[in-house]
Structure 1
Amino acid sequence: MEKKTSLPTQFRLAVAQRSTAECLGLFADALGLFRDRGIDFQLVAFETAAERGVQGLLSGEWDYIEIGITPLVRLRADGHDPAIVVGTTPVNTNFLMGRRDIGKIADLAGRRIGCLSLGGQTAAAARAVLSPHGIADAVKLVPLLTYSKIFDSIASGEIEGAILAGDIRFPGEVHHGMHVLADIGAVTGMPGTCVVTTRREIERNPGLARRVVRTYVDAVQAFKTRHEAAKSFLADLLRFDADTIERVYTHYRSVFQLMPRPSLPNIQIGIDEVARERPEAARITPGDLVEPRFLDEIERAAR
């Protein structure tokens, strides 16, 4: 463990959505892992969704955010400098879900699908999974910002389907009569979630970035091995019943990587998807979006 500094270093984090894949920092804070490394953890914003999340990162309202990778491709195409330092999930863990009367993906033609935002990971996932069926332009995406609003809209009949995170799909099935139409990661290979900052912020405080990355590695290890602590955290975060929490924990325990590297091949798929609408994005490479040096250091030290 690193020697603590006399004055903690401020780590200002935002979280784009309430889901296990994007809340590893909150788990680390709950266990005191940031404090152990002399970091003053501050959750500045929660459930920002993608557009607000990247806006706050660029304006300096927060210095790091847990978010889906796809919006960062657009950010880079706009000339900004996002730098992914941790890949919390290597591949997209969202699911395309349908209401009871939607039997297959093709049945969504002319219908409405709820997503968190139009510029974020959930909308990109929807377009990627609908395109091979030829109905991407025949489905209306409805931005609803939070999963609770998505469930309200399913209940009211405002939408017939939704993009749900891997953990949120369980209550969708149990309490809202929804069912899986597609595992988006398995079907499309779209990239997953990450911890991202800017290259400017890394240059300003590389020591903080190094300690933050090491804390996330510690958090993954703790999630996989401290079963009861992880499930207690998930129960507080998600407010699901015990059986559902057990299913969520089992799912993400298998998804999280001990060395949480972003997957470059999956990021390339995300770049290709964005380039369909933004041709200039085709010039971006996965390496343009990733800063691997801190994970490299940890891996070398472990040999």
Structure 2
Amino acid sequence: MLRSNCDRSARSGFAGGVACGGEGVKRVTILKYIFLVLSLTISLAAHAQESLVVSYDGYAGFQGPIWATKDLGLFDKHGLKTELVLIAGSPRGMAALVSGSSHFAQGSASAPIPIRLRGGDIVIVAAALNRFPFSVVTQKEIRKPADLVGKKIGILNFGGSNDLAITLAFKEWNIPRQAVTVFASGGAPERLAALSTKAIDATVLSPPETVAAARMGMNILAHLSDLKAAFPQTVITVRRSFLEKNRDTVKRFVRAYSEAIHVFKTDKAKGSAVYTKRLKQQDSKVIEETDDYFAPKFSFPPRVDRDGIRNALELVTALPEAKGDINLEQFIDESVIDELEREGFLKKLR
């Protein structure tokens, strides 16, 4: 009876018929192989099409590494499909990251540290800039730090890297914070405009705004990158749970990001091209000065300066969680960079 059914199925050409004998086993094996290949192809296609949302928090030269990673095709080179999104303001960027709306966030360490202190699921995996990128720009009659006493200083906002930079500069200059008036006065373009109308006496700016300020006759009083104090201004933050579940993705991201930093430090033409596109700046002199300012300061390998994390903690001293001894390593996971070092990837870039 079984043989009769097999014969009928074979004669009718019915694909779902009973498979019998050696021919049937071969057909089943082929079908299994086809199914395996199709499954693998679909899986790889889905993986290739998975898009990662990467945020950054403003327009300035210190955003260069993430722009270069995207614009120079380095994400593609390392097998990542990404969407670069501007989310102005570090707190908003962190909110998007914590909620899962984004996968990676570039910004300063001042944003993730308080979230982590409260038990948030985030961690810094790389740092492109461990120095303040700002310069103190003043009215031309202010020639030395002591001349700032009694003056009005505009910053972006309180509790951010602008605020900390001014605080640490005053410490080095032995000027009490209360000896000046510090207030929030908008973004870099707004503060530059306020300087030009003498609504404020001083502010902190970074290239390309510093170049424009100098052309307007303003005085560049000090480069805060020359301060003894370190600060992790440009870091990459992820959810710790995302790192644990998608370690290979994070590793490929850090490979691409490291390569972008290396390009900035070694290939001026490519770095300048990125700035020209992203800053929408056609003045080659401005682009050149921006690149000259930032390229030597970018960190390669992209490790986090622990002293910078200590300084960043000064921004959150009012939090109950910031009291007592704090383990700095809770904010950082450099295990991916450690792997890239052991595997020789970073050495090959040098």
Can you list the C-alpha shifts for 1:199-244, whole angstroms capped at 9, x where unaligned?
1322342222111111101111222333222112112223162122
- Structure 1 residue 255 corresponds to structure 2 residue 333: no
What's the secondary structure of 1:14's corresponding residue? strand
- Structure 1 residue 196 corresponds to structure 2 residue 237: yes
Which residue pairs with 1:268 in the alignment? 310
1:237 equivalent among 260, 278, 293:
278
Correspondences of 1:213-224 after superposition (within 5 Å): 213-224=254-265
Which residue pairs with 1:15 in the alignment? 56
Aligned residues: 296
1:112 equivalent among 146, 152, 164:
152
Tell me the amino acid that sits aligned with residue 138 of structure 2.
G
C-alpha separation in 2, matches of 1:298 and 1:153: 46
1:278 Cα offset (Å):
4.0
1:95 Cα offset (Å):
1.8
Per mean C-alpha deviation after superposition, the further-off stretch among 20-29 and 126-135 is: 126-135
Can you list the C-alpha shifts for 1:103-124, whole angstroms capped at 9, x where unaligned?
2333333333222222321111
Distance 1:227 1:187, change over 3 A: closer
Tell me the amino acid that sits aligned with residue 88 of structure 1.
A
1:74 Cα offset (Å):
2.5
Bigger-Rg structure (1/2): 2
What's the secondary structure of 1:83's corresponding residue? strand
For the 8 Å contact 2:134–2:223, the answer to whether it is kept is yes
Tell me the amino acid that sits aligned with residue 300 of structure 1.
R
Can you list the C-alpha shifts for 1:126-161, whole angstroms capped at 9, x where unaligned?
122124533313434333443112212212322211
For the 8 Å contact 1:268–1:285, the answer to whether it is kept is no
Which residue pairs with 1:291 in the alignment? 333
- Structure 1 residue 160 corresponds to structure 2 residue 201: yes
1:45 Cα offset (Å):
2.2
Contiguous gaps of at least 5 residues in structure 2: 1-43
- Structure 1 residue 94 corresponds to structure 2 residue 134: yes
C-alpha separation in 1, matches of 2:126 and 2:315: 21
C-alpha separation in 1, matches of 2:99 and 2:184: 23
Per mean C-alpha deviation after superposition, the further-off stretch among 216-225 and 139-148 is: 139-148
C-alpha separation in 2, matches of 1:82 and 1:166: 30
1:33 Cα offset (Å):
0.9
For the 8 Å contact 1:127–1:136, the answer to whether it is kept is yes
Distance 1:31 1:275, change over 3 A: closer
What's the secondary structure of 1:248's corresponding residue? helix
C-alpha separation in 1, matches of 2:282 and 2:190: 16
What's the secondary structure of 1:23's corresponding residue? helix
C-alpha separation in 2, matches of 1:117 and 1:253: 26
For the 8 Å contact 2:169–2:224, the answer to whether it is kept is yes
C-alpha separation in 1, matches of 2:248 and 2:113: 26
C-alpha separation in 2, matches of 1:158 and 1:55: 33
C-alpha separation in 2, matches of 1:143 and 1:23: 25
- Structure 1 residue 185 corresponds to structure 2 residue 225: yes
What's the secondary structure of 2:235's corresponding residue? strand
Per mean C-alpha deviation after superposition, the further-off stretch among 179-188 and 242-251 is: 179-188
Q: TM-score, normalised by structure 2?
A: 0.76
- Structure 1 residue 51 corresponds to structure 2 residue 97: no
What's the secondary structure of 1:66's corresponding residue? strand
What's the secondary structure of 2:214's corresponding residue? helix
1:268 Cα offset (Å):
2.0
Per mean C-alpha deviation after superposition, the further-off stretch among 253-262 and 106-115 is: 106-115
For the 8 Å contact 1:95–1:163, the answer to whether it is kept is yes
Which residue pairs with 1:80 in the alignment? 120
For the 8 Å contact 1:154–1:160, the answer to whether it is kept is yes
Distance 1:98 1:40, change over 3 A: same
Which residue pairs with 1:68 in the alignment? 108
Sequence identity percentage: 22
For the 8 Å contact 2:160–2:315, the answer to whether it is kept is no
- Taking only aligned residues, the RMSD between alpha carbons, in angstroms, comes to 2.3
What's the secondary structure of 1:247's corresponding residue? helix
For the 8 Å contact 1:118–1:141, the answer to whether it is kept is no
For the 8 Å contact 2:116–2:123, the answer to whether it is kept is no
Which residue pairs with 2:33 in the alignment? none
Distance 1:194 1:96, change over 3 A: same
What's the secondary structure of 1:87's corresponding residue? strand
